[in-house]
Structure 1
């Protein structure tokens, strides 16, 4: 009568894996606040530091670029460094997520809903 439902015993194992994954995801989200990346532009004249969540935490500008007639260049360099830091933050976050999913036996291309 219950033929075909033999896999229900695996349901408890699946639920435990899901709970473990949820716990690991929470830990990873907390770690994203501590992981930092640095983006650069202008051969390192402008550096932007961000968390793996993409929040800008620091900006370092070499004083040699402060020429009044090059204001637009400086602004462009700042924006480029920030964009570079945000891109690196996103890549780092994806890398950390991939490590987590691989450790749980999920496919490498598995996408999390967040």
Structure 2
């Protein structure tokens, strides 16, 4: 029983390390999102850090329109980044879960 407990603890520790490595890797994953007409594009990481925003000159003439474009495009990019982030971290966590009787509902 004690050996099983040590094995589970080691597996959990390995999983924690893999989660941290995945978080670091996700900082380097770039997602580019464009407005439907291509006048605005944003680049963010899978950790939801904004890296770049490109705005067409014609959007600079209308502050309200630019604000709307920014909100819509950034929200789409953040949703994609969140989805990638959650899927990657969930996959690492699921692979690293020790086999605990009665906990197979998590798999």
TM > 0.5 fold call: yes
Greater radius of gyration (CA): 1
Deviations 1:26-61 (A, max 9, x none): 111111210111222243221111111111110012
Deviations 1:68-113 (A, max 9, x none): 3x32112210221112111111111011112212322576868xxx
Measured in 2, the distance between the counterparts of 1:109 and 1:59 equals 39
Where is the helix percentage greater, Structure 1 or Structure 2? 2
Structure 2 unaligned runs (5+)?
99-103
Equivalent residues in 2 for 1:59-78 (5 A)? 59-66=53-60, 68=61, 70-78=62-70
Determine if the alignment matches structure 1 residue 14 to structure 2 residue 34.
Answer: no
Structure 1 unaligned runs (5+)?
1-6
Determine if the alignment matches structure 1 residue 87 to structure 2 residue 93.
Answer: no
What's the RMSD between the two structures over aligned residues? 2.2
Say which of 14, 23, 34 aligns to 1:29.
23
Bigger RCO (CA 8 Å, 6+ sep)? 2
